[in-house]
Chain A
């Protein structure tokens, strides 16, 4: 059974890898400019903030919760930096304040979920509305721009070779998140808490503390991503980053992380990010509208689970009996 699960896991990530390969090859042949290195950097850079938050969201979902407030925290942190700048606070200080506020937002969510025991969907939905509201409270109907040159340059110009800062930050965070989730004690706790919170409690795991930490992390990372977004866009409004949450959750789920917690791997999530971004870029370069892009990604999301399931069902019907269990819902293998 373990080997079975392992096979399934490999199959899921293998599937994503195959999809990615097909996208890259087909688009590479059919769409001029796609394989251009600058384009490859562009396609990552254009969604790098989402990709960064995807990493944190993976922890939240693995631990059996959900955080819908991330996009609002991103917006709030970006707005906060700008608002503080207007009040004469240096941007450097503003960034630190934004990160702190992000952590507070996360802890606030975590408090109601982990300590009081409210469903995270309800709590973070309130956060989605409330934190966005706080951002609106600060900027109202204005747009704030005019940041120091160094700040804009960090967000908009390549820093090292052709790579902008955000890309390098993402690379570092990626490695960090992978190590943290797959190899650290904290990651182990996240899986355990998501898989069976009661077993965790009966094993002396501080479930509350783990959940609080996961939410705090989600808050800080979102705030950080918000600052990066601000640097890239050079201006901020009350609506900045609005609606990002669905894209982010989509990427996590396509990566094979179960919405019920306790399963999924960082490798799957990374592949999922690459699949979504490459697909979207390839379609855009082929002059597909945003509408078509959304539709194709929606269909991919369904088909990537549906088709293997149907194949497995057909195979089990043809071959010997056995369970028609969903084939590719990946489970956690030997951790």
Chain B
């Protein structure tokens, strides 16, 4: 596989196809078993991350590799060797702001990265790669956490870099991204090279065929359901300084999409409903009865479940087995009279989910951390489905998943609706929200801008609302 200067080269492949390993080899994190790497025609050995840097290879990882205690500016410049022997904080701040400006992002560069959202953290990663004099830039799912607006901005930068002669290896599960930006497309499958073709010769269908080795249907479509009774009613929910005035109702079997740009505070609404960061004003009614949710235990009691957007940090206990993860919120059900865990029962229920959601793992005793992203997400879903929720909040459930896994998750969401569960879907991928939701609530900077029915929702209208271009907030309940 060859990567040319001034090209954007897309790399496609399902999770587990070997993309991440390829990145790790190129950035010197692991050593190859065989084969060679050439830079500018010279054979090189990328023995360490440092050597990769010297060769001008930089990577933006799918899971942000940030330093939570360092400031944004420091995160950007920590691995720079050319900034003199003494750290000039003022210059660093200015330069950091300049780099972020190129990305069109405004962040407080003095703030510790700990407090940033995943999206912002990823932006910092990109800024870090940009700030190094890169010749080869590897981007692993850079758009996964960005909203459409930011994606456009990013692509502008990527194209500019291409113009400067930088070779860009672009890895994404979003077909539309790939076709919008890539010059050439390479597909990997099961750790093997399958094909490299100019974009013009590739269609989404052919790419997917190469990736999965079979033909797949179009983007997912919901099967219609008949909504049942109102399960959840939210009136004027607010958390001081975070969001305010969120109101909606949700029926059994309905999917409510939460759309908005980064910083729209959608996740915070989810966290408030789940009791992690409780709301301090407003009312929540479940089955028309007012409830107080001050903790996740409260939420679980009334049948609200929540899957986090940060699967890596907050989703699973990696060293624990699949079964133990699945039963974590409901462990009490699997205890014998003496408080011992009934392993057989636990395994049985996990096995059930393994089959139902086709979790690919050797057994339910396998450590959750060893699974691929898609399968991890299915374990997370199993864990919460096992609480038999009435309301299921899914925060970015398909982030970082490949097409196959994504489709499976969509399938699951559809089934949830059919089973009469009320679903709140938080997603930055507008097509996903549009395709999956019955209604779409659009937020902007902590305020509810509009609620659309799926019939009246279009990409343009939602985006306009998310960017605040509606004259008055239209609240359609």
Interface residues of A (CB under 8 A from B): 1-2, 5, 179, 183-186, 188-189, 191-192, 195-196, 198-206, 262-263, 320-323, 331-335
Contacts and interface: CB of A to CB of B under 8 A. Distances in A.
B223 interface: no
A206 B276 CA distance: 12
Contacts of A202: 274, 276, 296, 306, 308, 314-315
A199 B316 contact: yes
Contact of B33 (A189, A320, A323): A320
Interface stretch (B146-154, B320-328, B428-436, B438-446): B320-328
Interface string B329-368: 1011011001111000000000000000000001001110
B319 A203 contact: no
B340 A206 contact: no
Contacts of A320: 33
A184 B339 contact: yes
Contacts of A201: 276, 296
B341 A183 contact: yes
B236 interface: no
Contacts of A195: 317-320
Interface range on chain B (Cβ under 8 Å from partner)? 35 or more
8 contacts: A179-B340, A191-B319, A195-B320, A199-B317, A201-B276, A201-B296, A205-B329, A335-B320
B366 A334 contact: yes
A321 B31 contact: yes
B165 interface: no
B370 interface: yes
A192 B328 contact: yes
A184 B340 contact: yes
Interface of B: 30-33, 274, 276, 296-297, 299-300, 306, 308, 313-321, 324, 328-329, 331-332, 334-335, 338-341, 362, 365-367, 369-370, 383, 387
B438 to A, nearest CB: 27
Contact of A2 (B331, B335, B339, B370): B370
A195 B315 CA distance: 12
A2 B276 CA distance: 31
Contacts of A199: 313-317, 328
B335 A185 contact: yes
B341 A334 contact: no
B30 A321 contact: yes
B32 A203 contact: no
A323 B276 CA distance: 37
Contacts of B314: 196, 198-199, 202
Given A198-B313, A198-B314, A185 B365 contact: no
A313 to B, nearest CB: 13
Given A184-B340, A263-B319, A5 B367 contact: yes
Contacts of B324: 188, 334-335
B367 A334 contact: yes
A231 to B, nearest CB: 30
A198 B33 CA distance: 37
A321 B34 CA distance: 9
A332 B320 contact: yes
A210 to B, nearest CB: 11
A201 B300 CA distance: 12
A65 B86 CA distance: 37
A203 B332 contact: no
Contacts of A185: 331-332, 334-335, 339-341
Contacts of A200: 317, 328
Contacts of B315: 199, 202
A193 to B, nearest CB: 10
A321 B329 CA distance: 40
Contacts of B319: 5, 191, 195, 262-263, 331-333
B152 to A, nearest CB: 32
Contacts of A262: 317, 319
B33 A321 contact: yes
Contacts of B274: 202
A191 to B, nearest CB: 7
Contacts of A188: 324, 328, 331, 341
Contacts of A189: 331
B320 A191 contact: yes
Contact of B383 (A183, A196, A203): A203
A186 B339 contact: yes
A94 B321 CA distance: 45
Nearest to A179: B340
A202 B313 CA distance: 10
A185 B345 CA distance: 13
